[in-house]
Structure 1
Amino acid sequence: MIEGGSGTTVSYTDTARARLVMAYEACELADLARAFVPIGEHELNLDGTSRSPGTVLADAARVVAAAQRFFEAAAVFERMGGADWQVIGDVLEVSARTAQLRFAMAEAAFRELLSPDRCPAAGEAGRLRAYMAREPLEVALDLDDWVLRHEDGDSDLGTTPVSGGLVRRGPRRPA
């Protein structure tokens, strides 16, 4: 939440928060995948074999896990934006029931994060997701910086490529 000029508190919509979580997961996925592009000077033996067997596969598994988190975050964003299970299923070419079975737990976990009296889930990932859902402006500003550091000629992004697009709820008086 941020303070408005008149002493009112403005917060982001739940859909905007879900989109922010998806943006964060995309950032994490991009960083993990990009690490595979350079070939380290000491990564290969002279015969072209790996100096650390299993390391690349373990790193690739982390990329797949990050892609899975991004995929789930995208489904949650669609649901928070009003898409029903039929729409999700149609996009994925599965039944509405299959889509619901696949993503309902991720949606429920996100909705729990939005609860003001909910304690963060155990583990670093749970605390991070709770932080993203509860402190969206801080996360959005960090992602603004990330996008601007990584822009590839996209000069029309402006100075707030993430935070500028988040939708806020109307002003509310503090309790």
Structure 2
Amino acid sequence: MMKTSFAAFLAALICAAPVTALADHTHGAAEAQVLGDLAISDGFTRAMLPNAPVAGGFLSIANNGTQDDRLISASSDRAGEVQIHEMAMQGHVMKMRELPDGLAIPAGQTVELKPGGYHLMFLQVKTPFAEDESVPVTLVFEKAGSTEIELPVGPADAKAAAHGHGGHDDHSGH
């Protein structure tokens, strides 16, 4: 029998579980944050269950420039560590793994960090994220530099911030 740690099981559940839309829990849509050629938008995270050690973070990064960039790291004072992760199907098994070299943001494209795909993984969370607060996150890019964003915390089953994207399907099958 295959053994899986509870934390690994919980992390997979948090980042791939079907979710519902986050309606007006972020108190209105925020403008995209611009850092050089990058536009960062639609960020959110979910309220955590008591004693949950991990949480996922989700956002969109549009590269409006002519050169590729790379998200190379993330950090938050709310977590002991923040990793850049990917979830993908390998055969009939959903696998989650850290991307130690970061995440490519190709020129002229938008990369979505969303449930069931790329995401930020907050590890060793000090105090569980609570609905209606926000989590500060510093994103570091290879070319554009660093910026701090705020991820609004929605309900535990939140899918997207109130940016008109709540009706999109959860693509957790990739």
Q: Could you say whether these structures have the same fold, taking a TM-score greater than 0.5 normalized by the shorter chain as the test?
A: no
Instruction: Indicate the structure (1 or 2) with the bigger Cα radius of gyration.
Output: 1
**TM-score (normalised: structure 1):** 0.22
Structure number with higher strand proportion? 2
TM-score by length of 2: 0.22
